[in-house]
Amino acid sequence: MPLAVCLGKGAPQLLGIGGDFRKLNPARVVLIGVRSLDQREQEFIRESGITVFSMADIDRLGIYNVMAEALRIATLETHALHVSLDMDSLDPSEAPGVGTPALGGLTIARRIRSWK
């Protein structure tokens, strides 16, 4: 996963691209809309200090509050922001061509409900 490499985990040939240093501070990395993580991903995230907002968090807190907190975390003590959208975070009803379709992802209906 490219994110892991940017956080300093992975093949040595990849870690040195752009210089031999960790490219991202895990305390400033936020994952939003997470639904499924394997055991190793869970361990890595827990150990690294990455912030995760699951789909259950979005349903409970609302997308506006999740995004506000994510932006606060990601922009603290930095002068840049990178956003990457994994299309698999969308529900297959919205994006049927994703590589790993899984029900329960982001939808326009879920977003509208969470704004109310």
Domain ranges of the chain: 25-115
Q: What is the C-alpha separation between 54 and 51, in angstroms, rounded?
A: 10
Q: What stretches of 16-53 show up as alpha helix (H) in DSSP?
A: 39-48
Q: Structure tokens of 27?
A: 């305390």
Q: Which pLDDT score is estimated for 25?
A: 94
Helix (H, G, I), strand (E, B) or coil at 54: strand
Q: Each residue's pLDDT tens digit in the chain (116 positions)?
A: 788 899 999 899 999 999 988 899 999 999 999 888 889 989 999 999 999 999 999 989 999 999 999 999 999 998 889 898 888 888 888 888 888 888 888 887 755 555 55
pLDDT, residue 113, reads 56
Give which of 12, 64, 55 is closest to 32, Cα–Cα: 55
Euclidean distance between CA atoms 92 and 5, whole angstroms: 28
Q: Which residues have a Cβ under 8 Å from the Cβ of 3 and sit 6 or more positions away? A: 24, 29, 84
What's the pLDDT at 43? 92
Specify the pLDDT at position 32.
94
Residue 112: the pLDDT is: 54
* pLDDT score of 61: 93
- Which pTM does this prediction carry? 0.84
Tokens 């968090």, located at residue: 57
pLDDT given for residue 102 in this prediction: 82
